[in-house]
A and B are shown apart, each in its own frame.
Chain A
Amino acid sequence: MHGLINRAVERFARDTYGDAFWTSVAQSAGLEFSTFEAMLPYAYETTERVVEALAEALDKRQDEVLEDLGTYLVASPNTDGLRRLLRFGGTGFVEFLNSLDELPARAQLAVPDLPMPQLELREVDPTTFTLAVTATPETGDLFGHVMVGLLRAMADDYGALVFLNHMQDAPGQEIIEIILLEVAFAEAREFELGARAG
């Protein structure tokens, strides 16, 4: 899997549980190095092993770990770049949801070889959506639960109150239900278009 994704898992583990924790996870995953390079490719199995080792070390289910990872990616100040890039998707949470279909293309505009699952949003009614996350051979089934955590954190970021439900865990396709309880529940986190550009 792409180094950026492995690096994200590593940063999540380091930032949340400390460097020593990461070192032991890296060891039990059989890594022969202590840090991933964001811009180098790695075998898919490497990512799988790291996620497994992480879940085992934390005594959590893999899907819980992946969800925490998704939340971390948006909420942590250390990965604010990603949060900002996601916020470019729309000025409000619903607009953001409607931009998810093009998220893979958006991501690949910046990093052409980044593996991304196919995303498809369905509007069931004005406050109920489903997001189908379809795996590709490169992504495996790792992204669905990450998306749940990521969507939860993005809803917070936009100040929206949502209920998320990972409904289907079939191999190859996961379905996430998104119920919008309140669009403007809390103050949105600051997002200045020009804060970083240039």
Chain B
Amino acid sequence: MTHQTQTPSGLEQMLSVLCPWFIVINGEGRICATGPGVLKLNGDQPLVGTMLLDFLDLRRPKTLHGIEGLVAEPGRKLHLVTRTAPHTELKGVIAPLPDGAVPGVQDGAVLSLSFGISVIDAVRDYALSGEDFAVTDLTVEMLYLVEAKSAVMEELRHLNTRLETARNDAEEQAVTDLLTGLGNRRAMDHAIGHIMSRKTGFAMMHVDLDHFKEVNDTYGHAAGDAVLQRAAERLRSVTRVEDTVIRHGGDEFILVMPGVIDEAKVARLAQRLVTEIEEPIAFGSETLRVSASIGISIATDLTTADPETLMEQADTALYVVKEQGRHGFRIYTPDMGHMTGGETAA
């Protein structure tokens, strides 16, 4: 091609300012001139003299074919892609060139390109800078927004991670069971530690609800939850302020009662607990019934007592109650260790 002059035409100079990503083609689709940045899309290889469609592939609209199709409908939104890697996607629009606007070009047209959403990759792939874009082009603003948004998202991600960690910590340190409002195992350890430090004797009761599983299976979890809540209320109503009532997971509760070491008194209390728990519970139109098995250990000699052993003793007593038909209580005695308890549950 011989039309390309060394000094750009007035039109080219104008396009370089207004829409620097331009390509001028002639009637047969051959590239006559390009904006400065366009060469970057071709690996800085010259484009003038080559065919436009050897450089760019027209993806859409599919109805347009060849260079004739391309120029036939000026103003349409074109989707193009570079034929060489990284196959950058481009938006384009074509407009016919007025006769004589570029010397030596007949039936020419100007294609103006932009990156659209692919700009993020393109800027990196081609190491583009602010000067590559028209002053009115919003590309730099868009890049700014993407980067600012990423920075803010990153901060929020960090904040979320820290909040999540804090929430888990708080949950672990919580001493309250959410369903019943009772303390949990940690609350009990704390209470026992406190009692032991004051050298007070105490009773420990391990309460297990009888028939809870049947209620749950028959009437559903909501009914089960209602039973647990009512049982917790009743346990609390029977006990004193200084007593600790905790939910020991599932349908088990543990009561720690400082100063209660007289066996007769403990037995009266336990009987009252069983009676209270056996009161029917209204749940919608249903009436729910559960009972309780209670294993009890009493710590009188605090010099030798340790919470682990007391817990085991209460468990053993509870086991004996269950063996003997549930619905009652037993106070631990050393012979239970052999599981040969002969007394009947009260």
Contact = CB atoms under 8 A, between A and B. Distances in A.
A84 B162 CA distance: 27
Contacts of A110: 145, 148-149, 151-152
Contacts of A193: 123, 128-130, 140, 143
A192 interface: yes
Contacts of B120: 194, 197-198
Nearest to A107: B148
Interface in A137-183: none
Nearest to B124: A194
Contacts of B124: 192, 194-195, 197-198
Given A88-B143, A196-B150, A197-B120, A39 B128 contact: no
Contacts of A111: 148, 152
Nearest to A102: B141
Interface in A90-128: 90-91, 106, 109-111
Task: Give the most central of A110, A191, A194: most B CB within 10 Å.
Answer: A194
Given A193-B140, A197-B120, A91 B145 contact: no
B283 interface: no
Contact of B143 (A37, A90, A197): A197
A81 interface: yes
A39 B129 contact: no
Contacts of B122: 194
Interface string A39-73: 11000000000000000000000000000000000
B156 A106 contact: no
Interface in B121-152: 121-125, 127-131, 140-141, 143-152
B155 interface: yes
Contact of B159 (A40, A85, A197, A198): A40
Task: Give the most central of B148, B158, B159: most A CB within 10 Å.
Answer: B148
A184 interface: no
Contacts of B152: 39, 110-111
Q: Which DSSP category, helix, strand, loop or mixed, fits chain A's interface? A: loop
A186 interface: no
Contacts of B145: 109-110
Nearest to A95: B130
A20 B63 CA distance: 69
A85 B149 CA distance: 11
B155 A198 contact: no
B115 to A, nearest CB: 11
B147 A91 contact: no
A88 B140 contact: yes
Interface string A2-14: 0010000000000
Interface residues of A, number: 23
A49 to B, nearest CB: 23
Given A91-B131, A193-B130, A194-B127, A84 B147 contact: yes
A31 interface: no
A87 to B, nearest CB: 9
A85 B155 CA distance: 15
Given A109-B145, A193-B140, A197-B147, A38 B129 contact: no
A34 B131 CA distance: 44
Interface string B97-126: 000000000000000000000001111110
Interface in B178-210: none
Interface string B254-293: 0000000000000000000000000000000000000000
Task: Give the most central of B121, B122, B127, B143: most A CB within 10 Å.
Answer: B143
Contacts of B159: 37-40
Contact of B146 (A38, A90, A192, A198): A198
A85 B128 CA distance: 16
Contact of A194 (B143, B149, B150, B151): B143
Contact of B130 (A81, A91, A195): A91
Contact of A88 (B144, B150, B151, B162): B144
Given A39-B155, A110-B151, A111-B152, A194 B144 contact: no
A168 to B, nearest CB: 31
A198 B129 contact: no
Given A192-B129, A195-B124, A198-B121, A85 B148 contact: yes
Contact of B147 (A39, A40, A81, A90): A81
13 contacts: A37-B162, A39-B152, A81-B151, A84-B147, A85-B147, A88-B147, A106-B144, A110-B149, A192-B129, A193-B128, A193-B130, A198-B124, A198-B146
Given A37-B159, A39-B155, A197-B150, 13 more contacts: A4-B155, A85-B147, A85-B148, A88-B130, A88-B140, A88-B144, A88-B147, A91-B129, A91-B130, A110-B145, A111-B148, A192-B129, A194-B120
